[in-house]
Amino acid sequence: MSLAEKASRAFSIADLREMSRRRLPRAIFDFFDGGAEDEIALRDNLAAFQRVRVLPKALNDVSRVDLSCDFVGAKSAMPLAIAPTGAANFGRHGADIAIAQAAAAAGIPYTLSTSATTTIEALADAAPGRLWFQAYILANKEKLAALIARAHEADYEGLMITVDLPVGGKRERDFRNQLVFPFKYTPKNVLDFATKPFWSLGMLLKGVPEMENIKEIKRDNPGGKKLASSVGKNYDPAFDWTQLQIMRDNWKRKMIVKGVMQPADAARLAEMGIDAIVVSNHGGRQLDSSPATLDAMPAIIRAVGGKVPVLVDGGVRRGSDILKARAMGAQGVLIGRATLFGAIAAGYPGATRAIEILRDELSRTMQLSGVANMTEIDRDLIFSTH
C-alpha cells in the first residue's frame, strides 16, 4: 500500500494518531504523545474544546464558504498555522520537511522548532512558504544569536519566542521508557525498538536523526537517572522582560511570543510591540497544573484589547475546534501533534491529509453553523448556560 493510499484511510486526526502509534516503538510514540507528570493539562486542553458547544444560526446562504482570513499580518488560506514540533524525524525521516511542504501547499504558515531535526536552511530551501522560526532561549547566547541570524538570512517571515520553558517539564513517560536526547541506547529501549522492525530498519539505513540546529551544544545527559527532562537542559531560566525587549528591538520582522497564560503578561507584550501572542501551555508538556489554553484565552483577549492578535494552541483535533477558538475571539489556532501524527503515519501524504481533514471539518462546521466566511464567526455561535 502506498503512503497516499494509507493516508486516505484516515478520516480523523485520531485515526492518524492511531496509525502513528502502530508504527512507532512505545518510547518514541510516548515522547510525541505524552505530557508532564499526571498529564492533567494535556487532557484538559482536549476537554476544553469538547466542553464548548456551538449554537448554529439558521437560514443563511452557506452554499459556498470562504476559510481565508488575515493571519498575523498576511493572508492565510485558513486561520491555522503549524506549531513548532521538535525531533520530528525520529518519528519518520523527512517529517519536518513533509509537514512544511504540506503547510506551504495549503497556504498556511509553518514554524520550525529550535530542536528540529532539519536545518534552518534545508527547510527553507525545501518548503518555500510562510516560514516562522521558533527560538528557545538558549543559555548559550552566542548560539541563540547565530540561529536567529540564520533564520533572517534564510528569509523566515517571523520569529517565535517560546517563553514557557525556563526548565524542562517532568515527562514521566520518557523516564520510564529510558528515552533521552541526545539519543542513547539502553537494553530496555532496544527491546522496545525490536518490536517495530520497519521503524528500526529506517533508523539503521538512514541513521539516527539529530537536532541539527543545536547538535554541537555540549549537553549534560542525565541518562534517565535524574528527575529532570532531557528537554530544556540548555535553556536560560534567567531570561526576562529586558532581554525580550532587546530581541524585539533587534528583530525587524514579525515577532510572535508563545507560551503566554497570564493576562497581565499579554497586556505588557502588546505594549512592547509584539505582533502576535500564542496562548499555550506547551501542549501539556511543561507545567501540569496549568489551565487548559482555551479556558485561559478569553481573559488574555480582554487584556490586549484588540492591540495584537491572539492565537491559541493545545488540544486542537477537529475543524470545529478552529471555529470555536475563532468565535471566542482568537484570530486562529496552531496545531502540533495533528500534522506530526500525519507525517509519522504516512509522510507528506499524511501531513497533507491532516490539514485536509481539518479544512473539511472547518468548512462543514461553518455550513452547519450558518456562517459563510470568517468575519461571520462571532461570539453568538458559542452556547453558554451562564
Cell of residue 242, nine digits: 529586558
226 among annotated binding-site residues:
no
CB 62 within 8 A of CB 214: no
CATH class of the domain at 3-383: alpha beta
**The pLDDT of residue 217 is above 80:** no
Q: How far apart are CA 328 and CA 294, in angstroms?
A: 9
* Cβ 81 vs Cβ 160: under 8 Å: no
Check: CB of residue 253 under 8 Å from CB of residue 131: no
Q: For 1-55, how does the pLDDT look when each residue is reduced to its tens digit (9 = 90+)?
A: 899 999 999 999 999 999 999 999 999 999 999 999 999 999 999 999 999 999 9
Q: Is 370 annotated as a binding residue?
A: no
Q: What percent of the chain has pLDDT over 90?
A: 85
Give the pLDDT score at 286.
Answer: 94
Cα 368 to Cα 361: distance, rounded to the nearest angstrom: 10
- pLDDT, one tens digit per residue, over 155-201 is 999 999 999 988 889 999 999 998 887 778 888 888 899 999 989 99
Instruction: State yes or no: pLDDT of 228 exceeds 50.
Output: no
The response to whether 262 counts as a known ligand-binding position is no
Say which residues have a Cβ less than 8 Å from residue 229's Cβ, sequence separation at least 6: 168, 169, 170, 171, 174
Out of 71-85, 191-205, 247-261, 303-317, least confident range: 191-205
Which of the pair, 204 or 356, is modelled with greater confidence? 356
Rounded CA-CA distance 138/122 in Å is: 22
pLDDT bracket for residue 224 (50, 70, 90): very low
Mode of pairing for the β-strands spanning 69-71 and 74-76: antiparallel
Every domain of the chain and the residues it spans: 3-383
Global confidence as pTM: 0.94
Q: Find out whether 219 is annotated in a ligand binding site.
A: no
**Is 337 assigned to a binding site?**
yes
pLDDT at 232: 60
* 173-187, 220-234, 259-273: least confidently modelled range: 220-234
| 282 among known catalytic residues | yes
Mean confidence (pLDDT) of the chain: 93
Burial 279-300, CB ≥16 within 10 A → b, else e: bbbbbbbbbbebbbbbbbbbeb
Whether the Cβ atoms of residue 127 and residue 109 lie closer than 8 Å to each other? no
Asked if residue 226 has pLDDT above 50, the reply is no
The per-residue pLDDT for range 120-159, each reduced to its tens digit, is 999 999 999 999 999 999 999 999 999 999 999 999 999 9
Please name the residue that has the C-alpha cell 476537554.
Answer: 47
Residues 281-294 have pLDDT tens digits of 999 999 999 999 99
Cα→Cα distances 129→87, 100, 208, Å: 21, 8, 28
Integer angstrom CA distances of residue 263 from 99, 241, 268: 32, 15, 9
Query: Is 85 annotated as belonging to a binding site?
Result: yes
Q: pLDDT at position 34, please?
A: 96
